[in-house]
Structure 1
């Protein structure tokens, strides 16, 4: 399905229905939150009813986004005509119980995604792996529908694009990305104010956690990695949201081509799992690495979860990343 045909069909779906449920992935980031709110603002402009819900709390960084006060953290009691799921390769990725989601009995499910790991699991699927962010897809939909982009919508979309491209540095950033950003600024988005909120409003806990992560860092050839425990999180006074972006410091090291940040997650039975954020440069495909380990994402930015203990989880991801690096592959084939 082309983007043009997908947008045309989505316009028909929106026109035919009145009530919408909007959600995105667990542990929401800027693209998930900003785009969900932008869809809400779009539907508001059409006189539609919508509910935005996330399974997890909204990070403090994004609490100033227009409309964020309308976000709830539970599935609606009344069945929506359409459930819109953004940036998820399955219902499970939302963090909501799939059985509870099914019991909500939405009339239809719409899946909008731009990840390499995107899957056709819904009644309607629009997956554009060339899009720099799912927000760019909603931007194109808004223009096609002839809906004026308000300051509120522009702020949400700009925040989403800024964060999902890592400040316009990821491989998916194109000339059209900057044209999109320029138009959103013309529509009222404040680039300086948004950047200040996203990148220069860090908590003390995040900076202390960053210190622990960098102290624990190890490098072997082209691969860098670090791990933080729950005890280190507590000692730093850090929240889960404070882990966002830590891995970018590792991939920013000269000579490092792939990096992993592991965060310990203690389960009720005292087992330890590790939530991984993966980054890479150039042609190294960490999305494929993540998919092989049960996760997914973009070529240069992905994630997954591994079972412990720590040394086993670390050994698995380091071996996988080293195997993905060209120099290591050349050595193996020699």
Structure 2
């Protein structure tokens, strides 16, 4: 199947239904939020009604995005849309559980993903692991649909791309990535303002938590790791979103080829892991072996505690991979 075929199939489905649900993964990031908002605009212009439903709150740094107030929070989508004949568009998910939502079962599922761990779980699946972000795929949908890429849509798509490429530093960044970013800037996205909103609007709690994480830094040759406990997060007033990006400080160290950051999940005796590499090690495969997934150089998973056990399990795999 060529890339054009799933785009055509998606557009045909959009034309054949009046209403849609749009969702993405739990603990949404910039790509999840920006792509969802842009997708809603596409459907708006096609004369369709749509609802955006997420299981968790939009992170602080993305709350300035245009139309972000369209996003509704729920754990069960049946509370918002009980009609099972309304299709659901799942962005950046490898299955229903990744959304953190119930009430999606029994619907027509449209699956759009760019992760190497993506799975064809939907009635219609478009998985392009070469795309730098799902936002780049939504951009292609907008062009194919012939809708106007408005300044608000361009802002959401640019935000999603810059956040999911690590400010154009990940290996997924290509000449096409910059071409899309350039086009979005010409259509109304303001790169300077977007960068300020994402990178210079951090809450105090995030910086205090970062200090704790860096104080826990360990380095072993080409491997770096750190962690924060639930007690650390309570002490600093931090939430889960404040842990986003901490692992990037670890992988930025000269000589480090792979890094992992562990965050304790309160009251669960589990740890959420963010795993990175500089390209030599496929951390997506390691994350998948623990029930997670992601990209070759940026992935994640969840491990049972206690901390020393979870840490040793992931370090063993990373050490083996780096040998």
TM-score, structure 2 as length reference: 0.97
Q: CA deviation at 1:41?
A: 0.7
C-alpha distance in 2 between matches for 1:283 and 1:39: 34
C-alpha distance in 1 between matches for 2:280 and 2:38: 32
Picking from 74, 77, 82, the partner of 1:78 is 82
Find the counterpart in structure 2 of residue 101 from structure 1.
Answer: 104
C-alpha distance in 1 between matches for 2:41 and 2:145: 13
Superposed counterparts of 1:116-135, under 5 Å? 116-135=116-135
Find the counterpart in structure 2 of residue 331 from structure 1.
Answer: none
C-alpha distance in 1 between matches for 2:266 and 2:150: 43
Picking from 90, 93, 97, the partner of 1:88 is 93
C-alpha distance in 1 between matches for 2:216 and 2:317: 20
C-alpha distance in 1 between matches for 2:289 and 2:93: 17
Q: CA deviation at 1:6?
A: 1.0
Superposed counterparts of 1:180-329, under 5 Å? 180-267=180-267, 271-325=268-322, 328=323
C-alpha distance in 1 between matches for 2:95 and 2:45: 28
8 Å CA contact retained: 2:171, 2:279: yes
Superposed counterparts of 1:3-42, under 5 Å? 3-42=3-42
Q: CA deviation at 1:324?
A: 1.3
SS in 2 for 1:238: coil
C-alpha distance in 2 between matches for 1:187 and 1:67: 17
Q: CA deviation at 1:235?
A: 1.2
Could you list the runs of 5+ residues in structure 2 that have no partner in the other structure? none
C-alpha distance in 1 between matches for 2:92 and 2:37: 14
Q: CA deviation at 1:164?
A: 0.3
8 Å CA contact retained: 2:24, 2:92: yes
Q: CA deviation at 1:283?
A: 2.5
Q: CA deviation at 1:81?
A: 2.4
TM-score, structure 1 as length reference: 0.94
8 Å CA contact retained: 2:116, 2:284: yes
SS in 2 for 1:101: coil
Find the counterpart in structure 1 of residue 64 from structure 2.
Answer: 64
Number of positions where the alignment pairs a residue of Structure 1 with one of Structure 2: 318
Could you list the runs of 5+ residues in structure 1 that have no partner in the other structure? 329-334
8 Å CA contact retained: 2:257, 2:280: no
C-alpha distance in 1 between matches for 2:2 and 2:242: 38
8 Å CA contact retained: 2:55, 2:99: yes
SS in 2 for 1:169: coil
C-alpha distance in 1 between matches for 2:230 and 2:4: 47
Structure 1: 4+ residue segments shifted above 4 A: none
C-alpha distance in 2 between matches for 1:323 and 1:23: 37
Superposed counterparts of 1:160-199, under 5 Å? 160-199=160-199
Find the counterpart in structure 2 of residue 332 from structure 1.
Answer: none
Q: CA deviation at 1:162?
A: 0.4
Q: CA deviation at 1:65?
A: 0.7
Q: Deviations over 1:58-113 (max 9, x none)?
A: 1111111111101111212332521000001010000113xx322xx43x110000
Q: CA deviation at 1:234?
A: 1.2
C-alpha distance in 1 between matches for 2:253 and 2:81: 49
SS in 1 for 2:263: strand
